[in-house]
Structure formats: structure tokens, C-alpha cells
Amino acid sequence: MSDQSLTRFSLGHLPLASLLLCAACTSTPVGSAGGDMEVVPDVVLAIHGGAGTILRENMTPEMDQRYRQALTQALEAGYAALEAGGDALDAVEAAIRPMEDSPLFNSGRGAVLNDEGEVELDASIMDGAEGLAGAVAGARTPRHPITLARRVMNESPHVLFAAEGADRFAEAQGIETMEAAWFVTPRRADQLKRMQARDASSTADLARRPVDEKFGTVGCVALDGDGHLAAGTSTGGMARKAFGRVGDSPIIGAGTWAADATCAVSCTGHGEFFIRLAIAHQLHARMLFGDQGLPQAAREAVLEELPALGGSGGCVALGADGTLVAPFTTAGMYRGWVTRNGVVTVRIHGDERR
């Protein structure tokens, strides 16, 4: 099998080889000392499933296959929403929900555990058309935190609900909630045990841990037929985080941003750095006020400023003209996109783009 996983929706008569060729010639790798970046035109939907040390030698062919399938399913769900006449927000929510249900990703079921062995779920969504936003931080009950974030945006006058307030709002909204045990997978329980055994003392020292233990957030950016952009992000945060710690994912402007005039952005990585650099909003500001194109804005913010401050991670960012960039400073980032004509591309490793 090719290491490039492609599916096609509307032009199913084309042979796979021509699709592979087509994807290869339309995406342009952009080199950078800071890491990897790819520029792809004509994209309507893109997702990430977290950035980190995703090494081929640590990945069995079965796991590789499972991740690619899960990413493809999420892209298909988001694209189907667009095809059905849904707007960019519908597509973002539709793509993120299956990833929240998948134990492979650090969001919803399968989210990482805090130092007390519990999930605390963060999510946000932003509407590029109206500049509306909704978010939840430290929620414990919503099966789909992204749906709850959207309800905050649409059904409350607020932007962010935290902890018990988020759970109460979920109940009041009648959205699906689950018992705490449903979210906890054996893989995450083992991960926490291993981390605690290795270092009995500290939750504060997140930065020195191997990056593959920290990341796995999911996110989506979409562009609909009316030219509107939207972005969303959902996560369990960082493994063995301190009780009550909130990362960048539910912080509008840090982990998520969308504005029709510029771009839609969803980030993943070491959240504290994304907050301090306001990475998602920074891309927008560079474009709006600094007259930069999206590739330059993404390169300077994610591949230069982020590592310069000591942070790591990546993002998917979609311009209003359908240009997608997916920069990351780590060895890999689970990611994929669908172009206007329905071609699905999925990637995992950093060296997979050429």
C-alpha cells in the first residue's frame, strides 16, 4: 500500500494512480529549519489528530491502518456535511465527533487522564462568518465536547464555561452525557500509571516528558460553499496534567480561531506555549495587519516563534481562498484534508508529503 492514503468521492472513475499523482503535484512542500510544512490548494476541509513523536518504528502496520481509517472516516463525515448543504460549522462538528468517539485520539473517549486519573475535557469552536465562539474547559460529562462548545456559542450569551458549569450546561441543553468510566480507556490508564511510576513527585514538569505522551488533540477547519470559514478543537489536554489545568484548545485565539477575511486555525501541541503566543490568532493578525500570506504567517508563527520560545506542536490552517497549510515542529502529525473535488488525503509522518 502507498504511504499516502487517498479516497475519492465524486470522481470515482479515476484510477488510484492518477489520484496519487494529482495529489503529489498539487501540494507544495515548503522547507523550513523549524520543521515541516505543506501548502495545498483547493481544500474545503482539514483535520488534525495531534502532533508528536510519531515514529514509524513504534507504529505497527495495524495501528497505522487504524489511524488512517479513523482520519479518513472523520474527513468523510465532515465532507458529507458540506455535500449535504451544511455550513462550515456543521462540517467542523461532524468531523470532530467521530474522533471524540475514537479511543485512538486524545479527546472525548480515550482522552488522556489528569494526575488524579480523571478526564477533564476542553473544546472550542469558532464561526468565521460572524466572529462567534463557544468553548468548554475541564468538562467531565459531555460525550461530544465539540457539540457542547457549539451550544455555548449558539445557546448562551457566553463564550466559555468551565468545569462543573460546563457539565451543568450540558445537562441543561440535553446533550448526550456519559459516566466518568466511559471516557477512560485501558491505554490511558496504563499511560498514567507508567508516568506516575517513572516520576512519583511532579506534575509540574510537563515540558521534559517525551512529546508522544502529551499530544493527540483533534481539530478541524472548514470552508463552505458560501465562503465561510470555521474551526474547532477538542482535547483531554496533556497526560498527567495537574487537576484543573487548562490548555490552549478551549482558549479562543490560542488553540482555535476563524475569520472569513483571513483563515481558520486549529492547533495541537504544548498548550502553554500556544496560549502565550496566541498562535491561532497570530496567524490571522499576521495576515490582516502584517499583510502576510497564510504560508508565511504559519511558518513564522508555528515553525519559528513557537520553537524559539521552547514550545512544540502544529496546526491546520485554511485560508479563505482554500489554501491549506499544516505546519508542525514534531516528527509527525496525524492530519488529512479533502479538496473541493472530493479527494481525501491522509498523512501521519513528517517525511510523507513529497
Catalytic residue numbers read: 217
The CB-of-217 to ligand ASP minimum distance in angstroms stands at 3
Choose the binding region for ligand ASP from 124-132, 167-175, 230-238, 280-288 (rule: CB under 6 A).
230-238
Characterize the bridge pairing of strands 43-52 and 332-339: antiparallel
312 touching ligand ASP, by CB under 6 A: no
273 touching ligand ASP, by CB under 6 A: no
* Angstrom distances, CA of residue 307 to CA of 13, 88, 132, 221, 312: 44, 31, 30, 23, 6
249 touching ligand ASP, by CB under 6 A: yes
Looking at the Cβ atoms of 106 and 292, the one nearer to ligand ASP is 106
Of the candidates 248, 260, 300, 352, which one interacts with ligand ASP according to CB under 6 A?
248
350 touching ligand ASP, by CB under 6 A: no
The CB-of-329 to ligand ASP minimum distance in angstroms stands at 12
Of the candidates 102, 235, 256, 282, which one interacts with ligand ASP according to CB under 6 A?
235
Looking at the Cβ atoms of 195 and 343, the one nearer to ligand ASP is 195
Positions 97 through 126 that interact with ligand ASP (CB under 6 A): 106
C-alpha cell at 75: 474527513
The CB-of-179 to ligand ASP minimum distance in angstroms stands at 23
Looking at the Cβ atoms of 102 and 292, the one nearer to ligand ASP is 102
269 touching ligand ASP, by CB under 6 A: yes
Of the candidates 78, 108, 271, 295, which one interacts with ligand ASP according to CB under 6 A?
271
The CB-of-28 to ligand ASP minimum distance in angstroms stands at 26
50 touching ligand ASP, by CB under 6 A: yes
C-alpha cell at 94: 461532524
The CB-of-180 to ligand ASP minimum distance in angstroms stands at 19
Report CA 263 to chain centroid distance, whole Å.
15
Q: Sign (positive/negative) of CA torsion 112, 105, 323, 352?
A: positive
The CB-of-231 to ligand ASP minimum distance in angstroms stands at 14
Count of residues that bind ligand ASP according to CB under 6 A = 16
Looking at the Cβ atoms of 79 and 334, the one nearer to ligand ASP is 334
329 touching ligand ASP, by CB under 6 A: no
216 touching ligand ASP, by CB under 6 A: yes
At residue 11, φ and ψ (nearest 5 deg) are -110, 55
- As a whole number of angstroms, the distance between CA 300 and CA 264 comes to 17
The CB-of-271 to ligand ASP minimum distance in angstroms stands at 2
Choose the binding region for ligand ASP from 223-231, 267-275, 280-288, 340-348 (rule: CB under 6 A).
267-275
Query: Which residues of this chain interact with ligand ASP, rule CB under 6 A?
Result: 50, 106, 215-217, 235, 237-238, 247-249, 255, 268-271
